Amino acid sequence: MKIVRGIPEMQALRRELKGSVGLVPTMGYLHRGHMALVGKSQEFNAFTIVSMFVNPTQFGPQEDFAKYPRDEQHDIKLLEDAGVDVLFIPSADEMYPDGFDSWVEVRGITDTLEGARRTWHFLGVATICNKLFNITAPHRAYFGQKDAQQVQVVRKMVRDLNMSIEIDVVPTIREEDGLAMSSRNTYLSIDERRAAAVLYKALLKAREMCAFGERDAKKITGGMTAILQSEPLVKVDYVAITDSGSLQEIEYIQSSALVSMAVFIGRTRLIDNITVTV
């Protein structure tokens, strides 16, 4: 595996890759969720590039950028063992040099859910994805369903700005008790980690209510919230049922809907979602 830290070096190396290229953008501290994206990329492309960059511009001033978990040596070993071709690890100065002043703003789809609460977030996400796409020129890029709105934002950017990149989505990889794998799970104390199983239980409750014929979004989010609140360590940020394309809240589930949530457990904010189809 080639490890590249400079943008010009990455671009030069990219020019040598003859054949299809898959990109897996990550913030590192890799787990099985990330590796599922890597596996998909390797299945469909001649070369796989993984990027690891804790992108400062997608964090708010009160958020966890400084303490975001990092373990470069462990990540390098995982990716090497998996047979990844190129690992791109730029520094913040490399990506955002003095005088950097160009931003990619995706409107509309960013008004709801995560974008409504973390108003700066998708400006940082779209900008960094655009830069990574320009630097690595992939044929395909891989994203996790865990960050459902991120997928929609990136897809919209690619469509609106006519980028020749296929965006592929990989289902959420979960722990045995259903908790979605996330680098941030490492923040949880033992008690908090136990409590975190309630997120998936609440999502399954939505699926169950749907299966029993409930279509009223308020009733379903009510059932979910009751489950979440049964866990004293959990504080609900939001629980929402939205159209899976527009991400606008709906009153009744008619075909397929995104059921999503964000909760605080102690100081850790976790998100999760499932899609329900009726």
**Could you list the residues that contact ligand AMP (CB under 6 A)?**
26-27, 33-34, 36-37, 143-144, 146-147, 170, 172-173, 180-183
Residue 34 known to be catalytic? yes
Closest approach, Cβ 157 to ligand AMP, in A, equals 14
* Smallest separation, CB 251 to ligand AMP (Å): 28
CB of 16 to ligand AMP, least distance (A): 26
Nearer Cβ to ligand AMP, position 35 or 239? 35
How many other CB atoms sit within 10 Å of the CB of residue 259? 27
Q: Cα(41)–Cα(34) distance, rounded to whole angstroms? A: 11
Tokens for 83? 């047979």
Residue among 34, 74, 121, 139 flagged as catalytic = 34
Compute the least distance from the CB of residue 63 to ligand AMP, in Å: 13
Question: Which of 242, 271, 245, 247 minimizes the C-alpha distance to 259?
Answer: 242
Q: Which is nearer to ligand AMP, 143 or 187 (CB)?
A: 143
Cα three-residue angle 71-77-82, rounded to 5 degrees = 125
Residue 206 beta carbon to ligand AMP: minimum distance, rounded to whole angstroms: 19
Our CB check for ligand AMP shows the closer of 181 and 241 to be 181
Residue 174's Cβ-side half-sphere holds a number of Cα atoms within 13 Å equal to 17
Please identify, using beta-carbon distances, which residue of 37 and 79 lies nearer to ligand AMP.
37
Host H or E run for residue 224: helix 217-229
Token pair of 29, please? 């501290």
151/44 Cα distance (integer angstroms): 19
> Are the C-beta atoms of 147 and 258 separated by less than 8 Å?
no
Side-by-side strand order, sheet with 86-88? 2-4, 86-88, 47-52, 21-26, 140-144, 166-170
**Residue among 154 and 217 whose Cβ is closer to ligand AMP:** 154
Active site residues: 34
